[in-house]
Amino acid sequence: MASSRISDCPASPNCVSSGSSDQDHYVDPFPVGVAAEEAWTILKRALESEPRVRVVEEDRERWYLRAEATSRLFRFVDDVEFQLVPEQRLMHVRSASRVGYWDLGVNRRRIERLREVLKREGLGR
């Protein structure tokens, strides 16, 4: 069975992850109710619609994707990762700031916004 390569977060409050054991950093993975290929297409389409987000790494063999999200004002870059685990019908997620200590909740809001977009697009059918 495939496992997630999504990691935990550091102690700083500028990261959220479905792989975190710490409730302050934890977010639920995305439920997946469609075939892996369709889920991947929905994810990529959702990311393409996000402003200042670009996919920088994609491994379809392991169902892993990493994108960079750049802030509008200060041009800070956050890493946003996704790991689809078809056997579990889940997509694990992580969003983390590269610099700074506090992100003012930006990473958590990003993941929850994407959750809603993916749900509307049919990922959780």
Give whole-number Cα distances, 29 to 26, 51, 53, 101, in Å. 9, 22, 20, 24
Residue-wise pLDDT tens digits, 45-79? 999 999 999 999 999 999 999 999 999 888 899 99
d(CA 123, CA 38): 8
What's the mean pLDDT when you consider all of the chain? 93
Q: Is the pLDDT assigned to residue 105 strictly greater than 50?
A: yes
Name all domains of the chain by residue range, CATH numbers in brackets: 15-120 (3.30.310.80)
User: DSSP letter string over the chain?
Assistant: ----------SSSSEEETT-SSTTTB-PPEE--S-HHHHHHHHHHHHHHSTTEEEEEEETTTTEEEEEEE-TTT--EEEEEEEEEGGGTEEEEEEEESS-S--TTHHHHHHHHHHHHHHHTTTT-
Q: What percent of the chain has pLDDT over 70?
A: 97
Q: What pLDDT is attached to residue 6?
A: 84
| Cβ count within 10 A of residue 5 | 16
Residue type, 73: L
Q: What pLDDT is attached to residue 3?
A: 56
Categorize the per-residue pLDDT at 80 as very low, low, confident or very high, splitting at 50, 70 and 90.
Answer: very high
For the segment 19-34, the average pLDDT, to the nearest whole number, is 95
